[in-house]
Amino acid sequence: MTDVSAPGAPWWRSAVIYQVYLRSFADGSGDGVGDLAGLRSRLDHLDTLGVDALWITPWYPSPMRDGGYDVVDHRGIHPVFGTLDEARRLIDEIHGRGLRIVIDIVANHTSSEHPWFRAALASAPGSPEREYYHFRDGAGPGGDLPPNDWISAFGGSAWTRVPDPGAVTGGQWYLHLFSTAQPDLNWDHPDVRAYFESVLRFWFDLGVDGLRVDAAPGLAKRPGLPDHGFAAGDAFAPTAWESSPLWDVDAVHDIYRTWRAICDGYPGDRMFVGEVPVNGADRLARYLRAGEFHTAFNLDFIKVPWRASAMHAVVDETLTALGRVGAPATWVLSSHDEPRHVTRYGRRQPPGPRSTRPEPGPTDRELGLRRARAAVLLMLALPGGAYLYQGEELGLEDVEDLPPEVRDDPIHASGASAVPARDACRVPLPWSGAAPPFGFTAGPGRPWLPQPARWADRTVAAQDGDPGSVLALYRAALDLRHRLVPLAGDTFGWRLVTDGALAFGRGHHWECLVNLGGDPVPLGGEVMLSSGPLVPGAVPADTAVWVTPY
């Protein structure tokens, strides 16, 4: 497979990377949970799709209290997913196909069942074991109140109180910016730093091409852990915070400079992609300065409403801010954390420039799908790299009517978070057949989240060979992109910006025109690819085209 990049540019500057949410991709063992055997058996799908790399969500031993983002052993594979030997074989097979592999690194916190945390709980306040985490005495009489006002991303206080060893009540509090099962590590401790440096080396030695850094702005905390100044009922909204003591603290950059130096010691263009939800493109760009991450997800783009002005602003801000530090943009429409974009775009669009969640109300799936088809042509024509989330190539929407008893997301369990539970976007993929489990599992086990019967026409098998399918659109777009990006390089220029439509050019050969719900827009070139039916000489609402300009 040829690299999609300007001649000589490293692969990650323009790669299209497919996110594999392992539990829900394909199940080879037959227990109803996706695994490495399932993934290995379905690599043909990714090859045919035409992506450049895979990002695999955490595959480590874990009690799975947060879908595997609660890690017990950072150098192992969870038995439900397979073995380390299988992971080695998978890495070789991916490379054998000319693809690359990125894995998750979760360093803000461990699982509460990590040996370090167990030892900390079994040790007295003030002991060296407790220094690996943030343990503090409580405030108020008897230490009954949390040590400060910090809140958790999953709702409620970021502190939980634990009894001292041998006691039943009382005791210190520990910090967890996510669920109670994910205690935050103390990154001022040299052992914590050394441990993760060895973890990075372990996976780079095994041949992974990149690491996705989870919750990247969280690792460093302001010394003394002062109050943030939250008011009762405030939500965890780091994209709105300025100068917070718990997030995006400047000291975090020292950690990533050390990591980058380790990465640069390996041959073959290894890379980091950061999950960096911070306040604006300029703060994001700080993580992409020379000597830090190579790329970071564009988490503004994943939240932008389907409106020309908002879309225009986010693209402009991103390219301007990242251009200043010489970093490529990395676009993303859906992930395992956010509502799928068919659902997002099928709702009433929020008024502001960004929205952390879809507006309440019914989803118009037809409309959402038409916009989603246009959106992927928009995204894949932008300069930089892009991430696809498994199932978007099938046009899947969120499964919003999952019965409460099957829901697994700790956000759901806490009930206190403003973020919608994420199970809806994590339902196992439909591969073939007319009824659930749609070829997802090879055995008697039922998919760990139930698939809706209506997915019968969304399976890979049902769409394969249908030129009008979403799958056909993705394949055609990725194929064309492979040919166009080397010609276009990093070039970009707006050609049309109106209330209803956007058009931009990528060199002399490629222009993308998107109608985001306005009147039909006249075509300015010869159509190479269209997201939907055109009207004579024009592009109708909620449709995008790639053209060769006249």
Mark whether 359 is an active-site residue: no
Closest listed residue to residue 160, CA positions, set 187, 182, 140, 142: 182
Residue 214 binding ligand GLC, by CB under 6 A: yes
- Ramachandran sector of residue 537 (left: φ over 0; alpha: ψ -120 to 50; beta: rest): left
Radius of gyration of the chain (CA): 23
d(CA 159, CA 148): 8
Figure out which of the listed residues 52, 337, 408, 490 binds ligand GLC, where binding follows CB under 6 A.
Answer: 337
Residue 338 binding ligand GLC, by CB under 6 A: no
Mark whether 275 is an active-site residue: yes
Site map for ligand GLC, 360-399, x if CB under 6 A?
----------------------------------------
Nearest residue to ligand GLC, scored by beta-carbon proximity = 69
Site map for ligand GLC, 271-300, x if CB under 6 A?
----x-------------------------
Task: Give 124-191 as a DSSP string.
Answer: -TT-GGGGGB-EEPPBSGGG-B-SS--B-TTSSBSEEE-PPTT-SS---EEE-SS-TTSPBB-TTSHH
Q: Are 28 and 41 spatial neighbours (Cβ–Cβ below 8 Å)? A: yes
Q: How far is the CB of 413 from ligand GLC (least distance, A)?
A: 13
- Active-site residue, from 52, 70, 275, 392: 275
d(CA 159, CA 177): 8
Q: Are 468 and 532 spatial neighbours (Cβ–Cβ below 8 Å)? A: no
- Residue (238 or 525) nearer to ligand GLC, CB: 238
Q: Are 238 and 244 spatial neighbours (Cβ–Cβ below 8 Å)? A: yes
- Residue (214 or 542) nearer to ligand GLC, CB: 214
d(CA 346, CA 340): 10
Q: How far is the CB of 108 from ligand GLC (least distance, A)?
A: 7
Figure out which of the listed residues 51, 91, 213, 215 binds ligand GLC, where binding follows CB under 6 A.
Answer: 215
Site map for ligand GLC, 130-169, x if CB under 6 A?
----------------------------------------
- Residue (387 or 431) nearer to ligand GLC, CB: 387
- Residue (39 or 213) nearer to ligand GLC, CB: 213
Task: Give 46-106 as a DSSP string.
Answer: HHHHT-SEEEE---S----TTTT-S-S-TTS--TTT--HHHHHHHHHHHHHTT-EEEEEE-
Q: How far is the CB of 398 from ligand GLC (least distance, A)?
A: 15
> Encoding tokens for residue 375?
């959106």
Q: Which parts of 43-102 interact with ligand GLC (CB under 6 A)?
A: 66, 69
- Active-site residue, from 35, 209, 214, 408: 214
Size, binding site for ligand GLC by CB under 6 A: 9
Q: How far is the CB of 215 from ligand GLC (least distance, A)?
A: 4
Beta strand pairing call for 210-213 and 271-274 = parallel
Ordered strands of the 173-175 beta sheet: 135-136, 173-175, 159-161
Figure out which of the listed residues 55, 116, 178, 241 binds ligand GLC, where binding follows CB under 6 A.
Answer: 178
Q: Are 226 and 148 spatial neighbours (Cβ–Cβ below 8 Å)? A: yes
Residue 106 binding ligand GLC, by CB under 6 A: yes
- Catalytic residue positions? 214, 275
Binding site for ligand GLC (CB under 6 A): 66, 69, 106, 178, 214-215, 275, 336-337
